[in-house]
Amino acid sequence: MRHVKQSTPNSQYRIIVVDDEIGIIDSLSIFLKRDGYDFVGVTDPLKAIEMVKNEHFDMMILDFIMTPIHGDKVIEEIRKFNKNLYILLLTGHKDLAPPLETIRRYDIQGYCEKTDKFDQLLLLIESGIKSIAQMRTIQKINEELTESNKKLENSYMESIEILRYTVEAKDQYTRGHSERVSDYSVLIGEKLGLSESDIHTLKIGGLFHDIGKIGVPDAVLSKPGKLTDEEFEEIKKHPTIGAQILSNATIFDDIIPIVKYHHERYDGRGYPEGLVGEDIPYLARIAAVADTYDAMRSKRPYRDALPIDIVKEEFRKNIGTQFDPDIAALFLDVIKNNYDELAQIESKYYDKYID
């Protein structure tokens, strides 16, 4: 009767042994295969490097003194492309053990002296496999949490997007405004050389910067004429309302400063808190420039879109008062030398929202 080899818990762990003495490999092969490990033996350290580069191994058992290169050089090469491989180093004599600094630098998990008996090495292997198993468990938990958090984030994003579209449906004259502010903010951030993380925050912050207008009465939001003082006070509540809406989900923590402070002025005469200068979050100062530019370049029921020359003059007059001077100066340079990029953003959303 044919016997089918039973899978063991150890069979899911792949171990590569690298030693230029074939006798050591043969001896370890007996012990490791007996315990059910997936075993590979290699006598050429250069070949071992290529195998680790192209195949998966959980653990490497590596001789220190070899030809044509020693074990520390093997590890140095492997650590250039694999930081996670669990490595046990073998030494022919305790006086030939690698320096402690080498062990730390290359993240060697353990070493032991070669002997006729493999008791110490087998204990180190068992201990290492337990560590690898724990890391696998942690990795699996992190992957499951990441997947769960991603689903939750998507759910929140969908809900906030619905609110955003509701806001724009209440006021036909601001359709496409959030997308344009988002794109202008990203453009400014790129010209400033900001990190990818900040660029992403500007993008999402621009999309949701006016989400608080969901709490502004329709009659005020869509009023075609000049607002009364009382009506303007209602409008001024929308940054705080938006921040409160987004505060229910930690995924929006980074964009809340944009939502809450994009109407602050550099001279302290803005709202909702009257912050001054660099007390205003940096990304909110960028969004303020983008928001104001789009407001001036958009058609309103009481006026047409302002010509670009007037827009430039308004920015010049308000450098250091309404706007951060450095950001405004850079944006004026964008208008002068890269206006085609701004025009592309305008035309893209004009085409999208035209009736």
Query: Can you give the residue ranges of every domain in the chain?
Result: 9-140, 171-353
Between β-strands 38-42 and 59-63, what pairing exists: parallel, antiparallel or unpaired? unpaired
pLDDT per residue as tens digits for the range 235-288? 899 999 989 888 877 788 899 999 999 999 999 999 999 999 999 999 999 999
Q: What count of Cα atoms within 13 Å lies in the side-chain half-sphere of residue 285?
A: 26
> 109, 107, 111, 41: which is closest to 80 by C-alpha?
107
Tokens at 226, concatenated = 């000049």
CA distance 89 to 114: 10
> If you average pLDDT over residues 343-353, what whole number do you get?
70
CB-CB contact of 225 with 302 (8 Å): yes
CB-CB contact of 192 with 330 (8 Å): yes
- Upstream peptide bond of 217 is cis (omega within 30 degrees of 0): no
Give the H or E element holding residue 91: strand 86-91
Tokens at 64, concatenated = 């220190």
More confident residue, 87 or 172: 87
CB-CB contact of 255 with 241 (8 Å): no
CA distance 193 to 61: 46
Catalytic annotation, residues: 213
Burial classification of residue 133, based on how many CB atoms lie within 10 Å of its CB (0-12 exposed, 13-18 middle, 19 or more buried): middle
Tokens at 180, concatenated = 């344009």
pLDDT per residue as tens digits for the range 59-111? 999 998 888 998 889 998 999 999 889 999 888 766 656 666 667 776 788 87
State which CATH number among 3.40.50.2000, 3.40.50.2300, 3.30.2130.10, 3.90.950.10 fits the domain covering 9-140.
Answer: 3.40.50.2300
Model confidence, pTM: 0.59
Residue 38's SS3 state is strand
CATH for 171-353 is 1.10.3210.10
Residue 138 — pLDDT band, cuts 50, 70, 90?
confident
